[in-house]
Every structure is written in structure tokens, then in C-alpha cells.
Amino acid sequence: MTHRSEVAVGKAGKGRPELAKARKRLGLSQDEMATALWVSPTTWGRWERGRQEIRPVYRARMAEVFGVPSSEVERWIDGGTPVDTQAWLLPDCNDLSLPATVEAAGRLWRCDVDPERRQVLATLPFVPSALGTWLSAWSYGASADSTAREGSGPVVGMADVRRVDEARQAFGRMDKDHGAGLVRPAVVDYLNTTVGPLLRGRYTDKVGAALMSSAAGMTAMAGWTAFDLNHHGQAQQYYGQALKLAKNGGDPFMGLWVLEHMSHQALHLKQSAQAVWLTRAAVDTAHHAQASPRVTAMFLVEEAWASAMQARPGESADKHTAKRIHRQLAEAERLFAQGGTDRDPSWAEWHDEPELIARMGMSWNLLGEHKRAATCAEQAVHALAAKRPRSAQLNRLNAANAYLAMGEVEQAVNSARAAVPLTTSLTSTRATDRLRAFAARLDPYGTTVQVREFRACLDTQLARA
């Protein structure tokens, strides 16, 4: 009787190419992968070549490291129906040609409307190492000489492009009011059924450039909604494709919008070094594009936030960095006061004064100026409560964290408690997780009446949601 492990090794004798692809998607060498799994490089090499059985304990560990379901790891190891893993690969920014960009974007959208592939996309890990290549391609890469195309699809005109822009703005309003869970399926379906055929159609160079820019905006919207649901690898896939589309369209302002989304994700994931790269690239792009003072100010604030997260002057007492961040924030305020221009892109309307104040508050908190941070967050809540519920909810939590850092537990709990009711009306995993994280920070005060009541209120509301 043949033992199961012998059968498995026999099937894998031709190698396990899907396992090797999974490692490369993380940007890891065989030695680095072996270290992550606590085995020798020789053992990992045998696993990839199909020369050695992989015990269950290591299969489980692989699922954790790769951030995928255990069933997917089993398929990589033992074989099975192949899935289009090419669509999972991070965008290839070495090939910025129009055909390659259109094909890669369309393949991503097709996979995201397929239930099986969508599940895999949603579990992909965030890969920090990919960002350097993308930024290099954005800053120095040469885009296509022409965006004209003679495809098999419909003839595309500027009216089609305007409809895509209008749809993105409508989806954006829905997202701001209700969260990503409601709007994301509609955005992805629109990309696949409407934008995809347009990209494969026939258009002039002028129409093609505008279409690439509009497709970039809608793709970035899909990435944002994945980010709001905490699907960070999936969001990163979309952001990379959006940056390629913006590059092909020759649109630095759309590229700025994508870079902002990417830096916001890096800040959320506390990838401070990558956030600094992204925000500096955005500031450089804003200068080269001669963006208005108002637009430039927002990216200066984002850079200050990233620098504060990296250096944490409030903890490290790094006075030199703290002074530099103070200067950045002061310059951002000065520029913002000068206002925008008629050249500002449509997305700049969201970069209003409450948003500027809210982002400055994040820097103040990291600088150790918690009272100032709480004041900024409260001002943002007051201005945003009626028009942007999710932003108001997140700023209530920003205020709560600032109060807690000052030791004002009761005020911190009161601020956070005001954010709880929105969990039933907002489909934002990110906002819900922020509430849970704040609740966990209350452990040292867990026996107090206020904290017990807050946690009970949160548990009840989350159960309803």
C-alpha cells in the first residue's frame, strides 16, 4: 500500500510552480522564505522542486505567511484546478506600453468579478517592496508615445469619458456616506462591463489620454474601497494598475490622486518608510505639475504625518525632526490659505479645511502634542459630521486616542462612544477595526465603570451590524 506522502511527492515530482510564484509575489528569495517558515533553505528548495512532502504544521504556517486560505496552499502543493495566478501578480511597471496596460487592467477586473478569484484577491498580502519599483516607473519611466488605439471594441468619444468621470464622482459620494461595503461591487462591475470594453475600443490619441486618466480614477476608487474593507493586497493591486493608467494618460494630477491613496494605505498599515517615499513623490509631482497651493498643502501635510510616524518625536525626543515637521505644517497652512485655482482636479474638492485640520492632528499626536491633536480632531468632527459621516467617525476616534494619551480616560471614552452608532450604517471594516483597537487600548482601565459600559455598548452595536 502506498503511503499518502509518497503519492503527494510523486505528484509534485515535476515541481510546484504555484508555490514558487507565491513566494515571488511576496518579493522574497528562497532563503528569506525559508526563514519566514522556520526551515532551512535546503528544505524550502526541495518543497518548491516537489522533492519532499510538506507536513501539515508547515502548510498552516504557509497560509499565515502568504495570507491566503489553507485550501489555496493545498492547491499550490498538491495540484488542482489552476487559477489565473497571473492576475495576482503585482503590476509590471517595467512595461508601460498601452497594450500591456490595457490587458493587465482588464485581467484584474475580470478576476475580481469571478467569485473564486475574488476570494483569492481579497486575501493577498500587502507587499511593501513593490512600491519602490512603481515610484521609479512613475517618476522616470517613459509612457506610450501615443494613446490612440484601433481595437475591436466600440468607437470611443469624449462623451464616453465624461460618463466614466461622472460615475466615479457618484460612487465617491456613496462611499463617503455609506462606506465601501455598499459601493465596491458596483465599482468593480462598472470597471469590468463598461470601462474594460471602452479601453479595448477605438479612439484617437486625445480621447485615449483622457480615457486612460478616467480609467485610472475609477481603478483607484476600486482600490480605495478594498482598502476600506481591509483587503490591503487587493487594494495595492488596484493602486498599481491605476498608477500605470495615469502614466499612460500623461495625467500628473490623476497620478497625484493615486499616490495619495497609496500613501494613506501605507500610513494606515504603519509602513512609515514607504509612506515617506510615497508622500515625497507626491510633493515632487505636485511641484512639477504646478499644482495649486491648496493641492500642494495637502501633500505637505501628508509628508509631515509620514515623517512623524517614522521618527515618532513624541517618544524619541528627536527635536531636529520635530522642528522640521513643525515647519512643514506651518508651510502647509500658509499654502492652503492661498486657495486653489480653476486648474484643480475634481477630487480636490474633498481637500477642504476640515480635512487639512484632521490630517494635521495626526502629526500633532505623533509629535506628542496631544491637546493640540484633540482640538484638531474635534474641529474636524464638528465640520464633517453632517456631510462625511465616516470621516467624522474616524476623527472622533482620533480625538479619543489623543485624550487617552493625556490620561483623560473619561473624555476619551465619551468621544469614542459617539462613534459607535455609525457601525450599523457604515459598511467600513477599517472604521470598525479602529473602534476595536481603541477598545483594546483601554485594558489598563478595564475595571472602571465607563470602560465596562463602553465595551458593552460596542459589543451590542457590533452584534447588530
Instruction: Show the domains of the chain with their CATH numbers.
Output: 4-82 (1.10.260.40), 93-250 (no CATH)
Q: What is the reported pLDDT for 335? A: 96
The model's pTM is 0.80
Q: What is the mean pLDDT of the chain?
A: 88
User: Cell 500610513 maps to which residue?
Assistant: 267
**Residue 252 in grid coordinates:** 500628473
Query: Tens of pLDDT along 120-136?
Result: 788 888 888 888 888 98
User: What distance in Å separates the CA atoms of residue 362 and residue 39, rounded to the nearest whole number?
Assistant: 41
pLDDT at 80: 56
* pLDDT given at position 86: 47
Contacts of 83 (CB under 8 A, 6+ apart): 75, 116, 117, 120
How is residue 23 written as a grid cell? 513566494
| Pairing status of strand 202-203 against strand 149-150 | antiparallel
Residues of the chain scoring pLDDT < 70: 1-14, 80-90, 465
Query: Taking a C-beta distance cutoff of 8 angstroms, is the pair 435, 398 a contact?
Result: no
Strands (E), 42-132: none
- What is the pLDDT at residue 177? 81
Cβ atoms of residues 348 and 356 within 8 Å: no
Question: Look-up: residue for cell 485640520?
Answer: 357
Identify which of 63, 13, 70 has the alpha carbon closest to the alpha carbon of residue 37: 63
pLDDT of residue 115: 79
pLDDT at 88: 54
Q: 34 is written with which cell numbers?
A: 525559508
- Contact (Cβ atoms closer than 8 angstroms) between residue 88 and residue 121: yes
Q: Which residues contact 133 (CB under 8 A, 6 or more apart)?
A: 93, 94
pLDDT of residue 10: 41
pLDDT tens, position by position, 248-297: 999 999 999 999 999 999 999 999 999 999 999 999 999 999 999 999 99
pLDDT tens per residue, range 383-393: 998 888 889 99
* pLDDT of the residue at 14: 66
CA distances in angstroms from 67 to 30, 64, 130, listed in the order given? 18, 5, 17
Cα separations in angstroms, 157 against 28, 248, 452: 44, 18, 60
Torsions phi, psi for 203 (to 5 deg)? -155, 160
Closest CA to 128 of 276, 305, 230: 276
Residue 2 is predicted with a pLDDT of 37
Instruction: Give tens-digit pLDDT for 172-192.
Output: 988 888 888 889 999 999 999
